[in-house]
């Protein structure tokens, strides 16, 4: 079976391909489509935005399409930056400035009120008009300064109490094992498996 992941992010493509290789599922992506026009992410939730991208990809390719949308929710900021995570400090998108803005806004917030989570919504849209939503979340706390060199986005200021490290101090393998995205990706596997079974050619066997 062939599916498409509606992203141009090599890391996400590799992560999903690795999870699905044993299922005999080939993951295409927007990198395989020459004339892809980016979908405007106008949704108010991660799930809305993921659905917009998945629907566009299924319309364009006729393949089962998956799309994810993710971001950071900080409790002391009523869930901000949320769907605005990528461009929190404005255009052009800049992880460094986003982190600076967040640290500044939380300067007077005490340690026990700095709780936050990464959230991911993954929508799968089929050519037959069905849609499925899976989600993942990782709980943590926003530090007062950056720690660690790996990862991207808000990883250097996102502390995982369970691991006593920030997301940027985890190895890629560790992060891919626990991340909000990995959780959402893993939950979609049984659904894909069932769809795959449904698509098996009928074999009447011998009398």
Binding residues: 7-12, 40, 69-70, 152-155, 175, 180-181
Among the options 32, 35, 69, 207, which is catalytic? 69
Which positions ≥6 away from 57 have C-beta within 8 Å? 4, 6, 30, 63, 65, 67, 125
Residue 105 within binding range of ligand IMP, rule CB under 6 A: no
Q: How far is CA 202 from the centre of its chain?
A: 35
Task: Tell me if residue 38 is catalytic.
Answer: no
Residue 99 within binding range of ligand IMP, rule CB under 6 A: no
Helices (H), 40-179: 46-61, 95-105, 172-178
**Cα 194 from Cα 58, distance rounded (Å):** 19
Residue with tokens 């489509």: 33
Residue 183 within binding range of ligand IMP, rule CB under 6 A: no
Give the CB-nearest residue to ligand IMP.
Answer: 153
Closer residue to ligand IMP in complex, CB, 71/135: 71
Q: 50: number of CA atoms within 13 Å, CB side?
A: 26
Least gap, CB of 101 to ligand IMP (angstroms): 11
How many residues bind ligand IMP (CB under 6 A)? The answer is 15
For ligand IMP, the binding residue among 19, 51, 71, 159 (CB under 6 A) is 71
For ligand IMP, the binding residue among 155, 157, 159, 166 (CB under 6 A) is 155
Token duo for residue 204 = 């009447």
User: Across 6-63, where does the E strand assignment appear?
Assistant: 26-29
Residues belonging to the binding site for Mg(2+) are 40, 69
3-state secondary structure of 151: coil
Question: Which residues in the 109-138 window bind ligand IMP by CB under 6 A?
Answer: 118
For ligand IMP, the binding residue among 13, 25, 28, 72 (CB under 6 A) is 72
**Cα 63 from Cα 128, distance rounded (Å):** 10
Active site residues: 69
Residues lying near ligand IMP in the complex (CB under 6 A): 69-72, 85-86, 98, 118, 151-155, 167, 179
């Amino acid at each position: 079976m062939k599916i498409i992941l509606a992203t141009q992010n090599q890391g996400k493509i590799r992560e999903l391909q690795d999870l699905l290789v044993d299922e005999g599922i080939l993951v295409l992506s927007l990198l395989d489509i020459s004339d892809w026009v980016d979908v405007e992410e106008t949704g108010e939730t991660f799930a809305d935005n993921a659905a917009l991208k998945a629907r566009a990809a299924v319309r364009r390719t006729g393949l089962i399409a998956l799309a994810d949308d993710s971001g950071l929710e900080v409790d002391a900021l009523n869930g901000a930056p949320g769907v605005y995570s990528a461009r929190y400090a404005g255009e052009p998108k800049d992880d460094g400035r986003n982190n600076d803005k967040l640290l500044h806004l939380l300067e007077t917030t005490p340690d026990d009120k700095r709780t936050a989570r990464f959230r991911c919504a993954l929508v799968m849209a089929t050519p037959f008009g069905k849609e499925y939503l899976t989600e993942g979340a990782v709980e943590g706390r926003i530090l007062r300064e950056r720690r660690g060199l790996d990862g991207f986005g808000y990883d250097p200021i996102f502390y995982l109490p369970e691991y006593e490290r920030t997301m940027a101090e985890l190895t890629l393998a560790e992060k891919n094992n626990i991340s909000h995205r990995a959780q959402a990706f893993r939950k979609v596997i049984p659904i894909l498996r069932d769809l795959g079974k449904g698509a098996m050619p009928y074999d009447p066997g011998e009398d």
